């Protein structure tokens, strides 16, 4: 009996030792918190990327937590930083870039990678993407992650009924196509949205591909005291045309508030043209009405325009200050991992976002990605972003309070489309309110300059 008791004791002790050993091994993994703003299906895809990284190595565990939206990711991070509980990595959308750059709350990407032994060919990043997140010297401060640009989506079946087999290249042509589609019995030739988020394509993308600034000082890159000036550019004519098409029933507002988003309206065959992100390509592919033939092209320009590159949208990953060296090693390992061409292929396959590096794009081409039916057309996003070498105007936007400015643009468009306010008057008012926001931002960071 004593012998059996001793055996049981030794066995229990062995199990305890084994358990402690396993616990110790697990505890040795460095945990890295990553907060992101994506929700819905994209949030699930981010979690897949995180799982791929965790399964690929034994040293780090990245814990990825959605904050529900881009806005919430930024605001929650600010609050957490003040409490000393910030994540190691945070996803910040494009228009939050200037705020982060001036915050002194981050570990620059180029320095993080060098400090942790990684040699990165920063020239491998597409210039139109890299320059959005780089200093004036070209030093990358954050890692592009879910990058996109806006495209024109068009219903090939509907266009066939009006005798066309190609998307409109100009807005003049698009206007004629809308009339023909309406005459052919389609109630929504062109679906659009005037919400805050759509300022990205209605104002920012439109201005870039037309080579026109939305603000002085090269869209804010050359100083915090820039002034908005899109009330004096082709944008005014564009809004006038949109309003005219809207009044004629050729263009229809589609949003959550109307009960059907643009993407839902297009996928369901209810609207025959929309402008939206290439990131929606996968969603439309999965949800399009059975048998519907559709395609994408780059955004139309006005006749006589020398097309310029479009702007990168989406978000980048920032590594925050105040963390341990072990966490920084893990962050560098994660950022190196997601930059692999194989991961670029996976990410683009399951989302619709584009590869951010030339090597990633080449890898996808070599594997026939763009030849496959579900993904064919996404190369238009690369064509659009690389249509020209970025100019001081088309490299991006560096305006303070850009999030709030987008809100003012939405308010102005609401006044135009819902209250019939004169287009020029409404846009002048938007610019005036926006310039007040920029001034308040500049006053907040008085004495600071953009890197």
What confidence tens digit (pLDDT) does each residue in 101-157 have? Answer: 988 899 999 999 999 999 999 999 988 888 889 888 889 999 999 999 999 999 999
Q: Residue 246: its pLDDT value, please?
A: 98
Residue 19: per-residue pLDDT:
47
Q: Which of 88-92, 137-141, 248-252 has the lowest mean pLDDT?
A: 137-141
- pLDDT above 70: residue 7: no
Rounded (5°) CA angle 170-387-123? 160
Q: How high is the mean pLDDT of the chain?
A: 91
User: DSSP string of 188-247?
Assistant: -SEEE--SGGGHIIIIIIHHHHTT--SBHHHHTTT-TT--B-GGGSTHHHHHHHHHHHHH
Mean pLDDT of 63-81: 93
DSSP state letter for 369: G
- Residues 195 and 203: their CA atoms lie apart, in Å, by 12
Cα distance between residue 251 and residue 138, in whole Å: 41
Question: What confidence score (pLDDT) does residue 10 get?
Answer: 39
**Neighbouring residues of 406: CB distance < 8 A, sequence distance ≥ 6:** 95, 196, 197, 199, 200
**Is 307 a residue whose pLDDT tops 80?**
yes
Q: Is the pLDDT of residue 25 over 90?
A: no
What pLDDT score does 223 carry? 92
Q: Are strands 60-66 and 294-297 parallel, antiparallel or unpaired?
A: unpaired
Is the C-alpha dihedral spanning 47, 109, 116, 360 positive or negative?
Answer: positive
378 alpha-carbon distance from chain centroid:
15
Q: Catalogue the long-range contacts made by 421-428 (C-beta closer than 8 Å, 24 or more residues apart).
A: 423/236, 423/239, 423/240, 423/243, 424/231, 424/236, 427/230, 427/231, 427/235, 427/236, 427/239, 428/231
* Segment 287-313 mean pLDDT: 95
**What is the rounded average pLDDT of the residues 148-175?**
97
233/204 Cα distance (integer angstroms): 12
What's the Rg (C-alpha) of the chain?
25
The answer to whether 245 and 175 have CB atoms below 8 angstroms apart is yes
Pairing between β-strand 150-155 and β-strand 143-148 as defined by DSSP bridges: unpaired
Q: Note the pLDDT of residue 13.
A: 42
Does the pLDDT of residue 248 top 60, yes or no? yes
pLDDT digits (tens, 9 = 90+) for 424-445: 999 999 999 999 999 999 999 8
Which range (97-101, 191-195, 341-345) has the least confidence?
97-101
In the predicted model, what is the mean pLDDT of residues 234-251?
Answer: 98
Range 387-393 average pLDDT: 93
pLDDT band at 98 (very low <50, low <70, confident <90, very high): confident
Say how far apart CA 137 and CA 165 lie, in whole Å.
45
Among the ranges given (8-17, 34-43, 431-440), the one the predictor scored with the smallest mean pLDDT: 8-17
> Range(s) for CATH 3.40.190.10 in the chain?
30-148+312-371, 150-310+400-444
Q: Specify the residue for token string 């003040």.
A: 82
What CA–CA distance (Å, rounded) separates 381 from 277? 9
Query: Tokens standing for 448?
Result: 């600071």
pLDDT at 447 (0 to 100): 85
Band of the pLDDT at 226, cuts 50, 70, 90?
A: very high
Question: For residues 81, 402, 392 and 311, what is the CA-based torsion angle, rounded to 10 degrees?
Answer: 90
CATH fold for the domain made of 150-310+400-444: D-Maltodextrin-Binding Protein; domain 2 (3.40.190)
Helical spans, DSSP H, in 234-367: 235-247, 262-267, 281-287, 325-338, 341-350, 358-366
pLDDT of 94 above 80: yes
pLDDT band of residue 27 (cuts 50, 70, 90) is: low
**Distance separating alpha carbons of residues 299 and 201, to the nearest angstrom:** 9
Per-residue model confidence (pLDDT) at position 71 = 87
Q: How many residues does the chain have?
A: 451
Q: Looking at residue 406, what is its pLDDT?
A: 93
Instruction: State residue 16's pLDDT score.
Output: 42
Query: For the structural domain made of 30-148+312-371, what CATH number should be given?
Result: 3.40.190.10
Question: What is the pLDDT averaged over residues 47-53?
Answer: 97
Mean pLDDT along residues 190-214: 94
């Amino acid at each position: 009996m004593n012998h059996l008791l001793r055996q049981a004791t030794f066995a229990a002790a062995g199990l305890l030792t084994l358990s402690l050993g396993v616990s110790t091994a697990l505890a040795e993994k460095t945990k890295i918190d990553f907060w992101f703003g994506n929700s819905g299906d994209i949030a699930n895809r981010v979690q897949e990327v995180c799982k791929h990284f965790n399964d690929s190595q034994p040293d780090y565990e990245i814990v990825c937590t959605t904050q529900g939206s881009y806005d919430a990711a930024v605001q929650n991070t600010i609050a957490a930083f003040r409490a000393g509980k910030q994540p190691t990595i945070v996803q910040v959308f494009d228009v939050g870039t200037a705020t982060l750059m001036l915050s002194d709350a981050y570990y620059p990407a180029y320095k993080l990678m060098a400090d942790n032994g990684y040699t990165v060919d920063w020239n491998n990043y597409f210039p139109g993407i890299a320059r959005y997140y780089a200093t004036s010297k070209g030093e990358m401060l954050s890692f592009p992650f879910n990058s996109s640009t806006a495209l024109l989506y068009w219903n090939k079946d509907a266009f066939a009924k009006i005798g066309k087999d190609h998307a409109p290249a100009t807005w003049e042509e698009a206007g004629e196509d809308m009339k023909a589609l309406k005459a052919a019995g389609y109630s929504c030739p062109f679906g659009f949205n005037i919400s805050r988020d759509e300022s990205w394509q209605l104002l920012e993308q439109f201005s870039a591909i037309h080579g026109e600034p939305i603000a002085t000082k090269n869209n804010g890159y050359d100083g915090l005291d820039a002034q908005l000036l899109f009330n004096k550019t082709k944008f005014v004519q564009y809004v006038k045309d949109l309003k005219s098409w809207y009044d004629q029933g050729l263009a229809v507002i589609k949003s959550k508030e109307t009960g059907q988003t643009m993407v839902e309206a297009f996928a369901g065959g209810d609207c025959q043209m929309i402008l939206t992100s290439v990131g929606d390509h996968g969603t439309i592919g999965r949800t399009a009405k059975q048998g519907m033939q559709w395609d994408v092209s780059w955004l139309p320009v006005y006749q006589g325009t020398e097309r310029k590159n479009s702007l990168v949208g989406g978000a980048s990953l920032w590594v925050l200050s105040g963390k341990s060296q072990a966490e920084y090693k893990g962050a560098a390992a994660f950022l190196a991992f997601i930059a692999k061409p194989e991961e670029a292929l996976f990410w683009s396959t399951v989302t619709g976002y584009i590869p951010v590096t030339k090597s990633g794009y080449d890898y996808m081409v070599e594997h026939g990605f763009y030849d496959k039916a579900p993904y064919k057309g996404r190369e238009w996003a690369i064509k659009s972003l690389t249509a020209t070498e970025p100019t001081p105007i088309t490299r991006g936007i560096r305006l303070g309070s850009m999030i709030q400015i987008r809100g003012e643009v939405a308010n102005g468009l609401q006044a135009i489309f819902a209250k019939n306010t004169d287009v020029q008057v409404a846009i002048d008012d938007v610019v005036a309110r926006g310039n007040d926001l920029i001034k308040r931002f500049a006053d907040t960071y008085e004495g600071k300059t953009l890197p």
